[in-house]
Amino acid sequence: SEISMKPFPVEEPIIIAHRGASAYTPEHTILAYEAAKEAAATYIEIDLQMTKDGVLVAMHDEKVDRTTDGTGFVKEYTLDELKQLNAGKWFNQTFPDLANKQFESLEVPTLEEIFLYFGDEVNYYIEMKSPGIYNAMEEKLLALLKQYNLIQVNEGLPRVIIESFNEDSLTKVYQLEPRLTLIKLYSFNEEEAALSVQEYNRLRSYASGIGVNLNSVTTDFIQEVQQNGLQIHLYTIENEVEMKKALNLKSNGIFINNPDLGIRIKDEF
């Protein structure tokens, strides 16, 4: 049934490896997701952009500049061209203390390559990053999820969660495939997270929950969201202090750059 496709744990928060294990490996590379899997993160987080020839790829920014040795917009690159870029050298240059020779041979993975590589060995938390600048990102994503049989439940959790700041994009996915678990993202000012009754009602019509920046929330807000029948996941935890804060807030999920740290602290908590 529709309900049983959207199960969530209630007792402890899911640990979402933000951009893979991005604290110590180059974000959005197979190695970063591999490290997240090693750490036993509940989900690997994948931000999506799209190439000129319509291929979904894992990258946070609309431009390749920050996380590769190239320049310009992803949408101006064909997949062949994008594959020429190096996706790990920047990390060694930016974080010399964490540099690793292995990182020098990394490329930008396509979403399909990620599915082929990990199959049903991980759960996927996928962000439609800039759906407004791409054509049919939602349809392409759904086609891949179906092709790789990923619209399923894994040990009581959704195999795939889809997140976006873009509500139109999420409602489009909902209309195309109502069984999927959707998370609407928000970014609020410090301690100013708030939603109206109308917003809660609208959210419940398509989403399972929301993703919100840690510094914006209060305990009262977290409880209000949960009492309104929605999950709340907090981004982005960078250290032990923030991890403890997120655990004390009793959210349902935690986006963290260092999933090893997150799981250790959660287990000790």
Which residues here bind Ca ion, judged by CB under 5 A? 47, 127
211 binds, among ligand G3P, Ca ion, none (CB under 5 to 8 A by kind): ligand G3P
> Which of residues 18, 28, 37, 159 is near ligand G3P by CB under 6 A?
18
Burial 1-16 (b: 16+ CB within 10 A, else e): eeeebbeeeeeebbbb
What angle do the packed helices 259-268 and 240-248 form, to 10 degrees?
50
> Which of residues 25, 77, 127, 137 is near ligand G3P by CB under 6 A?
127
57 in contact with ligand G3P (CB under 6 A): no
| Residue whose beta carbon is closest to ligand G3P | 235
> Which of residues 163, 214, 237, 257 is near ligand G3P by CB under 6 A?
163
90 in contact with ligand G3P (CB under 6 A): no
> Which of residues 148, 225, 255, 265 is near ligand G3P by CB under 6 A?
255
Cα distance between residue 131 and residue 170, in whole Å? 10
Catalytic residue of the set 6, 60, 172, 266: 60
236 binds, among Ca ion, ligand G3P, none (CB under 5 to 8 A by kind): ligand G3P
27 in contact with ligand G3P (CB under 6 A): no
235 in contact with ligand G3P (CB under 6 A): yes
**HEC assignment per residue over the chain:** CCHHHCCCCCCCCEEEECCCCCCCCCCCCHHHHHHHHHCCCCEEEEEEEECCCCCEEECCCCECCCCCCCCCEHHHCCHHHHHCCCCCHHHHHHCHHHCCHHHHHCCCCEHHHHHHHHCCCCCEEEEECCHHHCCCHHHHHHHHHHHCCCCCEECCEECEEEEECCHHHHHHHHHHCCCCEEEEEECCCCCCCCCCHHHHHHHHCCCCEEEEEHHHCCHHHHHHHHHCCCEEEEEEECCHHHHHHHHHCCCCEEEECCHHHHHHHHHHC
Residue with tokens 């809660």: 200
37 binds, among Ca ion, ligand G3P, none (CB under 5 to 8 A by kind): none
The CB-of-235 to Ca ion minimum distance in angstroms stands at 7
28 binds, among ligand G3P, Ca ion, none (CB under 5 to 8 A by kind): none
Decide if 60 is catalytic: yes
115 in contact with ligand G3P (CB under 6 A): no
The CB-of-214 to ligand G3P minimum distance in angstroms stands at 10
Catalytic residue of the set 13, 16, 17, 18: 18
Nearer to ligand G3P, 47 or 260 (CB): 47
Decide if 28 is catalytic: no
* Residues with catalytic roles: 18, 60
Applying CB under 6 A, the residues found at the interface with ligand G3P are 18, 47, 60, 127, 163, 185, 211, 235-236, 255
